[in-house]
Structure 1
Amino acid sequence: MENILTVILYPAIDINGGKCVRLLRGERSSATIYAIDPAAQAKYFQDAGCTYIHVVDLEGAFSGKVVNVAAVRSILSIVDIPVQFGGGIRNRTHIDAWINAGISRVILGTLAVSNPDLVAAACRDYPGMISVSIDVRGGKAAIQGWTKTSKLTARDLALKFEDAGVASIVFTDIDRDGTMKGPNFKETKILAQVLSIPVIVSGGVSSIKDLSKLTKLNSDGVEGVIVGRALYDGRINLNNALRVLAGDNILC
């Protein structure tokens, strides 16, 4: 019998200048290029057994409009597994266009703060296809490519969408993103427990032990984990990651 994933692995493809990069704490000046071809990287993740891919247009997040359109479309043309995508999606036209292009789940961050009613309307029209990204720095939700901070806490922002039909909350601790120091387990668990919306955790995942620990939060509402730098640096073996998240205790 095949293992059933208790926590979904979302390998991250962050695109800047048409290439796969990783940032440190969201700082553009810290970009490290890991792959020239995002589509080839996506195909690799699919062939390795991943069931979902997490894609972000970093330039779009900063500019307020999707910049790396060709790169994202190339990913959609080469993989069959679902792709969730965010970065620069700031209005209803953007949402409609990317869902029509084949994106399985649109991730909204800045828009969730600036226009929650629009997000709720999109959830009604596209059931199961809208996620809200809550990126926290110093306890407050950051927006516009993490360059500005709102007055809302993660909990306050998430609860605005509790009954809106949001597919998931993508929770990122910016201060841990790319640092290899482990995710914020405490705040992730607190957020997941107060919500009925599934939570996807991001930021700081650095080891198989981190993934094993996250599987224990599945019963609290943690649905998935986004992993980027640790996969590209080789700190986490992709096959082992999939095994651990499927409940295979390879640490024993």
Structure 2
Amino acid sequence: MILYPAIDLKDGHAVRLLRGDMDKATVFNDDPAAQAQAFVDAGCEWLHLVDLNGAFAGTPVNAAAVEAILARTQVPAQLGGGIRDMATIEAWLDKGLARVILGTVAVENPALVREAARAFPGKVAVGIDARAGRVATKGWAETTEVMATDLARSFEDAGVAAIIYTDIERDGAMQGPNVEATAALARAVSIPVIASGGVSSVADLVALRDCGARLDGAISGRALYDGALDLAEAMAALRG
């Protein structure tokens, strides 16, 4: 199971939100590329990037910060937020991203997800962000009636590389992940699932690893910045 350090970008800074609230942002680093390099120096194998402003705007906003991260680091990175058309998908992949994450368009334009997954095998993931089991879109500002598991199943034959499942109520709250809901989603599909939201200790990671369903990875942000989770220790535990 891969541990993905998260770098959430707001106004050019590396921040963490509380439950997706843009008004509850804590700035952890004014230099996102330096933060990315610190994670790489600690041994991370992937980076998870989110353009928070872009998620609301529907188009990339923190492109300069993302490009700086890609220029400075040598590990693969995935990015979500504001990626809603083929031109943007292709542009980001051309700039060196290993994977794009499609969230809002997975609900609003699932045909685009399928088209992109066919055009760029292994490079397109679906981001499913849920509040009480229902999918939220547009930077989590809107909650739909679509159930997370139903949305995941709808892409079973699309060829997407992964599903990144976030429990919004756990995100940034340091209260542990929703292991039960994540495991249920992973059991419902054959697509690799990456867990996100609330991962704040080695025990949380072990609980996800041993949940009885196959999880390919877990994302952690605030706990790494706060020092509650040591990256090297966490990676060693997952390998064990």
Query: Is TM more than 0.5 here?
Result: yes
1: CA distance between counterparts of 2:169 and 2:41?
32
Q: How much has 1:138 moved relative to structure 2?
A: 2.1
Q: Indicate conservation of the 8 Å contact 1:196/1:221, yes or no.
A: no
**Residue 236 (structure 2) pairs with residue 234 (structure 1):** no
Note the alpha carbon deviations across 1:117-144, whole angstroms, 9 max, x for none.
Answer: 1100100110000000000012210000
Q: How much has 1:208 moved relative to structure 2?
A: 1.1
Q: Residue 215 of structure 2 corresponds to which residue in structure 1?
A: 222
Q: How much has 1:48 moved relative to structure 2?
A: 1.0
Instruction: State the secondary structure of the residue aligned to 1:220.
Output: coil
Counterpart among 159, 176, 181 of residue 153 in structure 2: 159
**Residue 107 (structure 2) pairs with residue 94 (structure 1):** no
Q: Which runs of 4+ in 1 moved over 3 A?
A: none
1: CA distance between counterparts of 2:45 and 2:132?
32
**Residue 28 (structure 2) pairs with residue 28 (structure 1):** no
**Residue 128 (structure 2) pairs with residue 134 (structure 1):** yes
Instruction: State the secondary structure of the residue aligned to 1:150.
Output: strand
Q: Residue 52 of structure 1 corresponds to which residue in structure 2?
A: 46
**Residue 196 (structure 2) pairs with residue 202 (structure 1):** yes
2: CA distance between counterparts of 1:205 and 1:185?
10
Counterpart among 125, 142, 145 of residue 139 in structure 2: 145
Q: How much has 1:214 moved relative to structure 2?
A: 1.4
1: CA distance between counterparts of 2:141 and 2:161?
25
1:161 aligned partner, one-letter code? F
TM-score, normalized by length of structure 1? Answer: 0.94
Q: Which runs of 5+ in 2 are unaligned?
A: none
1:220 aligned partner, one-letter code? A
1:236 aligned partner, one-letter code? L
- Say which is worse superposed, 40-49 or 52-61, in terms of deviation: 40-49
Q: Which runs of 5+ in 1 are unaligned?
A: 1-6, 248-252
Structure 1 vs Structure 2: percent identity of aligned residues?
54
Q: How much has 1:220 moved relative to structure 2?
A: 1.8
2: CA distance between counterparts of 1:84 and 1:59?
16
Instruction: State the secondary structure of the residue aligned to 1:50.
Output: coil
Note the alpha carbon deviations across 1:2-47, whole angstroms, 9 max, x for none.
Answer: xxxxx10000000001110000000001000001111011111111
Instruction: State the secondary structure of the residue aligned to 1:197.
Output: coil
Q: How much has 1:150 moved relative to structure 2?
A: 1.4
TM-score, normalized by length of structure 2? Answer: 0.98
Instruction: State the secondary structure of the residue aligned to 1:20.
Output: strand
Q: Residue 185 of structure 2 corresponds to which residue in structure 1?
A: 191
**Residue 2 (structure 2) pairs with residue 8 (structure 1):** yes
Q: How much has 1:201 moved relative to structure 2?
A: 0.4
Computed over aligned residues only, the root mean square deviation of the Cα atoms, in angstroms, reads 0.8
2: CA distance between counterparts of 1:94 and 1:33?
27
1: CA distance between counterparts of 2:199 and 2:23?
21
Instruction: State the secondary structure of the residue aligned to 1:122.
Output: helix
Note the alpha carbon deviations across 1:77-112, whole angstroms, 9 max, x for none.
Answer: 011110000100011111111011111000000010
2: CA distance between counterparts of 1:121 and 1:65?
19
Counterpart among 97, 103, 114 of residue 103 in structure 1: 97
